[in-house]
Amino acid sequence: MKSYKHVLFDLDGTLTDPAEGITKCIAYALESKGIQTADLNSLKSLIGPPLKDSFMHTFGFEENEAITCVDKYRERFSTVGLYENILFDRVPELLEQLKSRDYHIYLATSKPEIFAKKILSHFAIDQYFDFAGGSALDDSRPTKTSVIQYVMENTGLADPQNCIMIGDRKHDLIGARETGMDAIGVLYGYGSRTELEQESPTYLLHSVADLIEFFE
């Protein structure tokens, strides 16, 4: 294994399981467009990618309609959905291990940064992160690649060969590849094995326990 110094984490589906909050907020947004959701589980595939893209690609909305839906989603998420969320088992142990071994830890999420920081604080894991980067409310960081670049620029990460990105969706792996760093795809989140394998991650792991063992 290469010697990495900097570890970047996705949030949703990698550190936390946000299914309840995200699916309820998406359903709330869709309801504003007259679309009823009979089964919240049907919306789980939308966890991870940028929401505007999901509203456009999955429901066929024009860009302005998708932006309106994102605003409606955030209306509920900012006060309620944010906290309808749980940490995956052993995540604090993983972060503690990395910190004790002198890794630098960063967040790189497609979730708006203002919400992501509140979630880290809510779960009392913000202390482990050197920097928490997310998307912008004005859509100026619309892709995972742009978020990773933003994290690198704000932390002086000049050599991506010393970095590794960890995430559960193809967007995490694409972002890592486009910024020149290795990636770990994790199978306990919301991306299927097929989705992740198609992006040829450097490593593919099944559980948080596997991540703990990987960095031992």
Catalytic residue, candidates 10, 168, 172, 182: 10
Place of tokens 């590849």: 177
| Dihedral sign computed on CA atoms, order 152, 203, 97, 48 | positive
Per-residue pLDDT of the chain (216 residues; tens, 9 = 90+): 688 999 999 999 999 999 999 999 999 999 999 999 999 999 999 998 889 999 999 999 999 999 999 999 999 999 999 999 999 999 999 999 999 999 999 999 999 999 999 999 999 999 999 999 999 999 899 999 999 999 999 999 999 999 999 999 999 999 999 999 999 999 999 999 999 999 999 999 999 999 999 999
Which residues partner with 89 through β-bridges?
Answer: none
Mind giving me the DSSP string for 52-80?
Answer: HHHHHHHH---HHHHHHHHHHHHHHHTTT
* Contact indicator for 9, 126 with CB cutoff of 8 Å: no
Which residues partner with 131 through β-bridges?
Answer: 106
> Which secondary-structure segment (H or E) carries 23?
helix 19-31
Cα–Cα distance between 7 and 82 in angstroms, integer?
Answer: 24
Each residue's pLDDT tens digit, 67-77: 999 999 999 99
pTM exceeding 0.75: yes
Cα–Cα distance between 196 and 187 in angstroms, integer?
Answer: 8
Domains (range + CATH), the chain:
6-17+86-214 (3.40.50.1000), 19-83 (1.10.150.240)
Q: What is the pLDDT of residue 2?
A: 82
Cα–Cα distance between 203 and 216 in angstroms, integer?
Answer: 15
User: How many alpha carbons fall within 13 Å on the CB side of residue 47?
Assistant: 29
> Which secondary-structure segment (H or E) carries 203?
strand 203-205
Distance of CA 32 to the CA centre of its chain: 26
How many residues does the structure list for the chain?
A: 216
Q: Is 138 a catalytic residue?
A: no
Cα–Cα distance between 163 and 188 in angstroms, integer?
Answer: 22
